[in-house]
Amino acid sequence: MNHRTALLVFLVLAAGAAPALSLPTTELSGTLKKVKDNGSITLGIRESSYPLSYLDDRQQPVGYHIDVCNRIVDAVKARLKLPALKVQHQAVTSQNRIPLVSNGTVDLECGSTTNNEARQKQVAFAPTTFVTNVRMAVKKSSGITSLGQLGGKPVATTTGTTSVQLMRAHEKGKGIDFKEVYGKDHADAFLMLETDRAVAFVMDDNLLAGLIVSSKSPADYAIVGEVLNIEPIAIMLRKDDPAFKKLVDDTVISLMKSGELDKLYTRWFMSPIPPRNVSMNFPMSEQLKALLKAPSDAPAESFNKK
């Protein structure tokens, strides 16, 4: 064997002995690295955002967005090869949900958060999985049907939401002197309406419908008034984390394309749900139907161009 042949043999053997050296490796970063290092993922849940995320009669988080987040968790388990990944739940409010995502306490916020331009400067959003109209719930006995009838009256909303700003910005709300009263969460704000501490509760129409259908006397209430805003609702995650964002987006889009998201919608909006086993009977909007065909994480401002 001459020197040239010997050298070729050596190179072939060396290549066979260490194939891993020639393969590129992808290191985990951001949320995926955090989750793998901790062996757990934390979901931010809401306690009264019917039927997106709320507590059932066993005080367990359930809802449309809980189911979507659970599908994302399954994708994380597969990506990290961690079938026993621990799933933790952290209750969040309208006030603290963005800080808790930003500071790493919550990995996925699975509630009822509007995707808008201001929030996109702080966090990222999955493709929109629900579209809501901001309106108001009243007691039918009040006779209130419009913003113009709220002058001098107490109006409830949830701390940390944008409802009051939307009322004041609306053409029919300008110059109306109503008194703002705040609930710490959606259930607390609805209780103000229920106990006559407020004449109206302004919020996303699906949340209002869920609270009404879960109340003691659903027939006493109505959702009325002008549409204050069209708002895309989506799962929220940390900003500047492209690997995790891609996994989340791919999972949500797969649910849309396969028809699974449509089935989840039917389960939570058109079928009897816990704890009272009644249906919201809340058909899918035309906006959401369009988004299932052409997924997007565009903010609310793109829905409300004039």
Sign of the dihedral defined by the CA atoms of residues 89, 93, 95, 97, in that order = positive
Please tell me the predicted confidence (pLDDT) of residue 7: 46
The average confidence (pLDDT) of the chain is: 90
In this structure, the answer to whether residues 264 and 289 fall within a common structural domain is yes
Say if residue 287's pLDDT is above 80: yes
For residue 193 the two structure tokens come to 């309406």
Sign of the dihedral defined by the CA atoms of residues 269, 271, 274, 280, in that order = positive
Please tell me the predicted confidence (pLDDT) of residue 175: 78
Q: What band does 177 get if pLDDT is binned at 50, 70 and 90?
A: confident
Q: What band does 254 get if pLDDT is binned at 50, 70 and 90?
A: very high
| Helices 242-258, 64-80: inter-axial angle, 10-degree rounding | 120
Encode pLDDT of 92-150 as tens digits. 999 999 999 999 999 999 999 999 999 999 999 999 999 999 999 999 999 999 988 99
Peptide bond before 51: cis, by omega within 30 degrees of 0?
A: yes
CA distances from 104 to 122, 262, 268, 302 (A): 13, 31, 29, 29
In this structure, the answer to whether residues 122 and 179 fall within a common structural domain is no
Domain extent for 193: 133-230
Say if residue 286's pLDDT is above 50: yes
Which stretches of the chain are DSSP H helices? 3-17, 30-38, 64-80, 97-102, 117-120, 163-169, 186-194, 205-213, 242-258, 260-269, 286-293
Q: What band does 24 get if pLDDT is binned at 50, 70 and 90?
A: very low
In this structure, the answer to whether residues 223 and 239 fall within a common structural domain is no
* Domain final position from 201, 230, 259: 230
> How confident is the model over 38-52, as a mean pLDDT?
96
Say if residue 4's pLDDT is above 70: no
If one counts the domains in the chain, the total is 2
Say if residue 226's pLDDT is above 70: yes
Question: In angstroms, rounded to a whole number, what is the distance separating the alpha carbons of residues 123 and 109?
Answer: 11
Residue 107 forms part of a structural domain: yes
The more confidently predicted of residues 193 and 174 is: 193
Q: What band does 26 get if pLDDT is binned at 50, 70 and 90?
A: low
In this structure, the answer to whether residues 172 and 121 fall within a common structural domain is no
Please tell me the predicted confidence (pLDDT) of residue 161: 84
> Residue written as tokens 């609270």?
211
In this structure, the answer to whether residues 140 and 287 fall within a common structural domain is no
Which of 80-89, 127-136, 176-185 is least confident?
176-185
Please tell me the predicted confidence (pLDDT) of residue 276: 87
Share of the chain above pLDDT 70, in %: 91
HEC per residue, 161-221: CCHHHHHHHCCCCCCCCCEEEEECCHHHHHHHHHCCCCCEEEEEHHHHHHHHHCCCCHHHE
> Residue written as tokens 């396969």?
258
In this structure, the answer to whether residues 210 and 146 fall within a common structural domain is yes
Say if residue 11's pLDDT is above 70: no
* Domain final position from 183, 209, 230: 230
Residue 117 forms part of a structural domain: yes
In this structure, the answer to whether residues 47 and 160 fall within a common structural domain is no
Q: Please name the residues in contact with 262: beta carbons below 8 A apart, sequence gap of 6 or more.
A: 284, 292
> How confident is the model over 242-265, as a mean pLDDT?
98
Say if residue 21's pLDDT is above 50: no
In this structure, the answer to whether residues 296 and 179 fall within a common structural domain is no
Instruction: Note the Cα 196 to chain centre separation in Å.
Output: 30
Q: Please name the residues in contact with 279: beta carbons below 8 A apart, sequence gap of 6 or more.
A: 213, 270, 271, 272, 273
Say if residue 19's pLDDT is above 60: no
> Phi first, then psi: what are they for 112, rounded to 5°?
-135, 50
Q: What band does 168 get if pLDDT is binned at 50, 70 and 90?
A: confident
Spatial contact of 157 and 168, defined as CB atoms under 8 Å apart: no
In this structure, the answer to whether residues 262 and 117 fall within a common structural domain is yes
> Phi first, then psi: what are they for 163, rounded to 5°?
-60, -45
Say if residue 13's pLDDT is above 90: no
CA distances from 244 to 10, 26, 142, 241 (A): 42, 14, 48, 6
In this structure, the answer to whether residues 51 and 113 fall within a common structural domain is yes
Q: Among 88, 91, 93, which Cα is nearest to 45's?
A: 91
Q: What is the CATH number of the domain that holds 210?
A: 3.40.190.10
